[in-house]
Amino acid sequence: MSEQTIASALRAASETDKAEFAHYLAQHALPGVGDAEIRAIVAAFDRFVAERLRDS
């Protein structure tokens, strides 16, 4: 899967979907992560989209 495809999927996702995905990642990769870290992950998703789809 390309970065462009991932960025497009994240762009289409709702904030709730991104938060649920962030929780899933945190639960399985970063045990003990709190709400602030989850918000940081969602913000990172948004930055990823902005950077990858800037010229689209």
This prediction has a pTM of: 0.83
- Cα(first)–Cα(last) distance of the chain, in Å? 18
Domain boundaries, the chain: 3-52
Asked if pLDDT for residue 54 goes beyond 80, the answer is yes
User: SS3 for 46?
Assistant: helix
| Alpha-carbon gap, residue 38 to 5, rounded angstroms | 22
- For 4-30, write each residue's pLDDT tens digit: 999 999 999 999 999 999 999 998 998
